[in-house]
Amino acid sequence: MTKKLNNDAAKRNLKPCICGNTDDFDLVSQQVCENGCEIWIKCGKCGYDPACKCGQHVESVMGELDIWTAAEAADVWNAHICTNNH
pLDDT of residue 85: 47
d(C-alpha 15, C-alpha 34), whole Å? 33
Q: Are strands 25-33 and 58-60 parallel, antiparallel or unpaired?
A: unpaired
pLDDT by residue (tens digit) across 16-68? 999 999 999 999 998 888 888 999 999 999 999 998 777 788 888 878 888 88
Cα–Cα nearest to 17, from 53, 54, 45: 45
10 near 4, Cβ under 8 Å?
Answer: no
3-state SS of 57-84 is: CEEECCCCCCHHHHHHHHHHHHHHHHHH
pLDDT of residue 30: 86
